[in-house]
Chains A and B, each alone.
Chain A
């Protein structure tokens, strides 16, 4: 390959850099070779752009280290690089030279080169280089220490998270150069704390959608992975994922590995759960099984489904095995189980222990006979369990954890009789108490108590409404997001008596008809091309051709020879987000109605108009009671009719606080799934964000502002209708003045809301 490159490294007298380099034969040689390679890959079209990159770097006094680093970067990256990004690459390297000096730049460039997989996608390495250039520009002294820590950081953080970590360092130590250096050298404890925070981001929430697709892709099953936040005083939080009813609940406390490994970990977890969904055809009867038997049955069944899944997808075995460590041989349950688990998957794994050997032999024989016979797990579990007892190896049910931690806790594999009031997990704990091992008597009594308490706290949580999402929250003081910080729960929508609302609707007929007249004129859509028009901004060539032909033939030509683009029809979806916090209980006007009454009425009127126009819309209500309990009520789903929403609107009751950012994020998640041309989120609120667990007056406002920005980034439009005298003062900084509509006299709301809607949808 390289010999070939030298051969066609022909001289080119017209290349100025080649002439300039003639006094430096070693560098010249490298240049010619790189140029030939670039010419071959890029073709004549982009070679000039390539040359100018090298030339300008040379003129910057980049030095041979940088240039050669760049060329070797390119020789790896070129086959896959987008030629348009060449100047970006050049600019990044130039920036490094300018700010951090040639030596440091050379180190950065060669480091980046090593991140380009051979023949692979160079875009990540390019991003990395851009990140370095940015750091060099903002804090030149930080680059060298940062490069020293780079390997460690990259092993723990993905690039965007690493960028955020850098940002933290620069913000925290704006003026203090020495501390900045310490931060990037990882000598500053803060650097480690921020690292931990950003690592935490690789928790489940960012992966959930991808994992659901992954499970479906492999096994055509529906599997939702959901984060299970630990309750505020949850004393027995889950330590492993729990599988049930097509859902995999992943406790927040589960220690997932950091950075890139988190991806593999969650995939291993998902693939394992999906394998159960496919291959664990029926649940095991729990009957009078002892905890040890339950644990062993789970272990064997885990191996059985993984073996079956890997027969179809061999790569999964690699994935799973990467989480099976090498347990030190010991006569403990932990060691024996770990070695058995691995031994059942990995034929190359050598074990001498008789118990493991026996388990393996029994399993292989039964599996070879019929791998789909699920009871083999039960039968072998009984034998192995009995042997353990004979060996006098104690099993501590309370301390038992399924290993490796990507596997679910196995409880989902067992059938709990309907009349059992206790959780099978408690059964396991309970079981341990009934057959006490002599040494462990004391602690097991405690276990029983724990189980009772765990049950009580669970009852309390279910009272709060089902958890539908966990969302991040922005902390302006840290200039960072707290990942998975806010729990969104589904508010129950008890319909109320619609009589009052219907009467109010009836009384507002004149308003409604004005609104109707207004909205009928609203038109919006993607432009479509119309051919053969009398006028238009472009000429329709085909029509012209026909016109000339007709003329020749002596026919009357068709004069419509233009084409034009036009908007026709409507294509938008609207989500209304209604604040129902305590302040909406305030009376308005003559005191007969509350803020919430008027808002409900306005939505009812607008809703029926939107339905007539055929615009899909949804309504959510929100109120919060601390970050663990942000309640969103589905007043109307997109696919429901307006009639369904009236009783729910009537049933809304004011209460609690206003955690606006969380509500907006969640609403946007729902709206973003729509495929309409335009998607609009309208927040109707009467106050500034606040909540019981937040003292800092700025905090929730800043979070809401951030949330709105993020929602806009996703291509959604966001507006606020601010109710009451002062509400717009709070809303404008969050939504922007232009996107805030102040409605001082709340009784005007129906008309104002409709007017806003009109403005939004015709413009």
Chain B
């Protein structure tokens, strides 16, 4: 099975925040699994894509969710006529073929699912296919990256300590205002002044983190607002659609956000 479809041909635009590229490359050289920590929509996924492109490795991305089972990761037997055939899961494909495997939002997965990555993250570097009774040694280029949003943390949903400690962590946060505005302008194709305004709005909304909002508007969100605006939608309305309405249903919080949007214009 070829991993070619997972190769990234064109350079994904990524504007570095600090040392994260150097750190990632060093971790990759040592095949030290990496955890990207940071709030939603701040560029973690984009960063991995960029690094996969830079290192010339295919990238297998798996979005984790609550109902995901170990079989969804490693594979399962399927019925094929009268026979059963084994089908590799995405993780197994990455392990065999030497891809970078990115488990997005890993806290969402149940803990009995996440344990399958354990033997991949220590010296053994193997994947167990329990159903098949097979042990696959990882390809020498195989590299595991997970993302983790500390804001989500709660007693019920957190990574096991034993899982966390298997990773080297790189911290992410929204870029500082000028750079975030440049990213927004580039990604949404809008004027710098407008991007500045959108960033201002996002930063205002982030002040409500923990006070009515679980998270403020992410870079992703304001890029969306920017795209709507470049399609001719009014600024206020685009912010309503892309920022205010998705973030909260509380009338008070919505109204405060709306007024903040107006203050920024």
Given A542-B71, A552-B84 in contact, is the A220-B207 Cβ separation under 8 Å? yes
A217 touches B260 (CB 8 A): yes
Which chain B residues lie closer than 8 Å to A213 at the CB level? 208, 211-212, 252-253, 256
State how many angstroms separate the Cβ of A163 from the closest Cβ of chain B: 17
B259 touches A552 (CB 8 A): no
Considering the complex, give the chain A residue whose CB is closest to the CB of B255.
A210
A545 touches B252 (CB 8 A): no
Which chain A residues lie closer than 8 Å to B255 at the CB level? 210, 214
State how many angstroms separate the Cβ of A265 from the closest Cβ of chain B: 12
State how many angstroms separate the Cβ of A82 from the closest Cβ of chain B: 13
A 667-683 contacts with B by CB, 8 A: none
Interface residue? B191 (CB, 8 A): no
B77 touches A217 (CB 8 A): no
How far, in whole Å, are A210 and B252 apart by their CA atoms in the complex?
Answer: 5
Considering the complex, give the chain B residue whose CB is closest to the CB of A266.
B259
A119 touches B211 (CB 8 A): no
Binary CB contact string for chain B from 64 to 81 against chain A (1 if under 8 A, 0 otherwise): 000001010000111100
A552 touches B257 (CB 8 A): no
A216 touches B211 (CB 8 A): yes
How far, in whole Å, are A220 and B204 apart by their CA atoms in the complex?
Answer: 8
Interface residue? A74 (CB, 8 A): no
How far, in whole Å, are A570 and B165 apart by their CA atoms in the complex?
Answer: 32
Interface residue? B234 (CB, 8 A): yes
Binary CB contact string for chain B from 208 to 219 against chain A (1 if under 8 A, 0 otherwise): 100110000000
Binary CB contact string for chain A from 394 to 435 against chain B (1 if under 8 A, 0 otherwise): 000000000000000000000000000000000000000000
Which chain A residues lie closer than 8 Å to B76 at the CB level? 545-546, 549
B256 touches A319 (CB 8 A): no
State how many angstroms separate the Cβ of A406 from the closest Cβ of chain B: 14
How far, in whole Å, are A121 and B240 apart by their CA atoms in the complex?
Answer: 10
Given A545-B76, A552-B79 in contact, is the A214-B256 Cβ separation under 8 Å? yes
Instruction: For chain A, give the interface size range.
Output: 20 to 34
A553 touches B77 (CB 8 A): yes
B84 touches A314 (CB 8 A): no
A216 touches B79 (CB 8 A): no
How far, in whole Å, are A546 and B208 apart by their CA atoms in the complex?
Answer: 46
How far, in whole Å, are A548 and B76 apart by their CA atoms in the complex?
Answer: 12
Interface of B: prevailing SS = helix
In-complex Cβ contact of A542 among B69, B78, B79, B257 (8 A) = B69
B 203-261 contacts with A by CB, 8 A: 204-205, 207-208, 211-212, 233-234, 237, 240, 251-253, 255-257, 259-260
Given A213-B211, A216-B207, A315-B265 in contact, is the A549-B256 Cβ separation under 8 Å? no
Interface residue? A527 (CB, 8 A): no
Interface residue? B1 (CB, 8 A): no
Which chain A residues lie closer than 8 Å to B208 at the CB level? 213, 216-217
Which chain A residues lie closer than 8 Å to B234 at the CB level? 119
B 72-94 contacts with A by CB, 8 A: 76-79, 83-84
Interface residue? B200 (CB, 8 A): yes
Given A213-B253, A267-B259, A542-B69 in contact, is the A314-B264 Cβ separation under 8 Å? yes
How far, in whole Å, are A210 and B208 apart by their CA atoms in the complex?
Answer: 12
B265 touches A217 (CB 8 A): no
State how many angstroms separate the Cβ of A308 from the closest Cβ of chain B: 14
State how many angstroms separate the Cβ of A522 from the closest Cβ of chain B: 21
Given A209-B252, A210-B252, A213-B208 in contact, is the A315-B263 Cβ separation under 8 Å? yes
Considering the complex, give the chain A residue whose CB is closest to the CB of B233.
A119
Which chain B residues lie closer than 8 Å to A217 at the CB level? 204-205, 207-208, 256-257, 259-260
Considering the complex, give the chain A residue whose CB is closest to the CB of B260.
A217
Binary CB contact string for chain A from 549 to 578 against chain B (1 if under 8 A, 0 otherwise): 100110000000000000000000000000
How far, in whole Å, are A213 and B211 apart by their CA atoms in the complex?
Answer: 8
Which chain B residues lie closer than 8 Å to A546 at the CB level? 71, 76
Which chain B residues lie closer than 8 Å to A316 at the CB level? 263
Most buried by A among B237, B240, B253, B256: B256
Considering the complex, give the chain A residue whose CB is closest to the CB of B207.
A220
State how many angstroms separate the Cβ of A312 from the closest Cβ of chain B: 7
State how many angstroms separate the Cβ of A246 from the closest Cβ of chain B: 14
Which chain B residues lie closer than 8 Å to A121 at the CB level? 240
Considering the complex, give the chain B residue whose CB is closest to the CB of A80.
B237
Interface residue? B262 (CB, 8 A): yes
Given A217-B204, A552-B84, A553-B77 in contact, is the A319-B263 Cβ separation under 8 Å? yes
Which chain A residues lie closer than 8 Å to B237 at the CB level? 119-120
State how many angstroms separate the Cβ of A133 from the closest Cβ of chain B: 24
Interface residue? A271 (CB, 8 A): yes
Considering the complex, give the chain B residue whose CB is closest to the CB of A550.
B77
Which chain A residues lie closer than 8 Å to B211 at the CB level? 213, 216
State how many angstroms separate the Cβ of B123 from the closest Cβ of chain A: 32
Considering the complex, give the chain B residue whose CB is closest to the CB of A210.
B252
How far, in whole Å, are A720 and B237 apart by their CA atoms in the complex?
Answer: 47
Interface residue? A383 (CB, 8 A): no
Considering the complex, give the chain B residue whose CB is closest to the CB of A314.
B265
B79 touches A214 (CB 8 A): no
How far, in whole Å, are A18 and B205 apart by their CA atoms in the complex?
Answer: 50
In-complex Cβ contact of A315 among B77, B212, B262 (8 A) = B262
Interface residue? A476 (CB, 8 A): no
A218 touches B260 (CB 8 A): yes
Interface residue? A313 (CB, 8 A): yes
Binary CB contact string for chain A from 211 to 225 against chain B (1 if under 8 A, 0 otherwise): 101101111100000
How far, in whole Å, are A312 and B77 apart by their CA atoms in the complex?
Answer: 60
Considering the complex, give the chain B residue whose CB is closest to the CB of A214.
B256
Which chain A residues lie closer than 8 Å to B79 at the CB level? 545, 548-549, 552
Which chain B residues lie closer than 8 Å to A220 at the CB level? 207
Binary CB contact string for chain B from 189 to 210 against chain A (1 if under 8 A, 0 otherwise): 0000000000010001101100
B265 touches A549 (CB 8 A): no
A 280-326 contacts with B by CB, 8 A: 312-316, 319
Considering the complex, give the chain B residue whose CB is closest to the CB of A121.
B240
A 510-556 contacts with B by CB, 8 A: 542, 545-546, 548-549, 552-553
Considering the complex, give the chain A residue whose CB is closest to the CB of B208.
A217
How far, in whole Å, are A548 and B265 apart by their CA atoms in the complex?
Answer: 62
How far, in whole Å, are A267 and B261 apart by their CA atoms in the complex?
Answer: 13
Considering the complex, give the chain B residue whose CB is closest to the CB of A316.
B263
Residues of B in contact with A (beta carbons under 8 Å apart): 69, 71, 76-79, 83-84, 200, 204-205, 207-208, 211-212, 233-234, 237, 240, 251-253, 255-257, 259-260, 262-265
- By Cβ-Cβ distance, the 9 closest A-B pairs, closest first, are A213-B256, A315-B263, A313-B263, A549-B77, A210-B252, A214-B256, A220-B207, A217-B260, A209-B252
Given contacts A267-B259, A552-B84, 18 further A-B contacts (CB under 8 A): A210-B255, A216-B207, A216-B208, A216-B256, A217-B204, A217-B257, A218-B263, A219-B207, A271-B263, A312-B200, A314-B263, A314-B265, A315-B265, A319-B262, A545-B79, A546-B71, A549-B77, A549-B78
| CB<8 Å pairs between A and B, sample of 17 | A213-B208, A213-B252, A213-B256, A214-B260, A217-B204, A217-B208, A217-B257, A217-B260, A218-B204, A313-B200, A313-B263, A313-B264, A314-B264, A548-B79, A549-B77, A549-B84, A553-B77
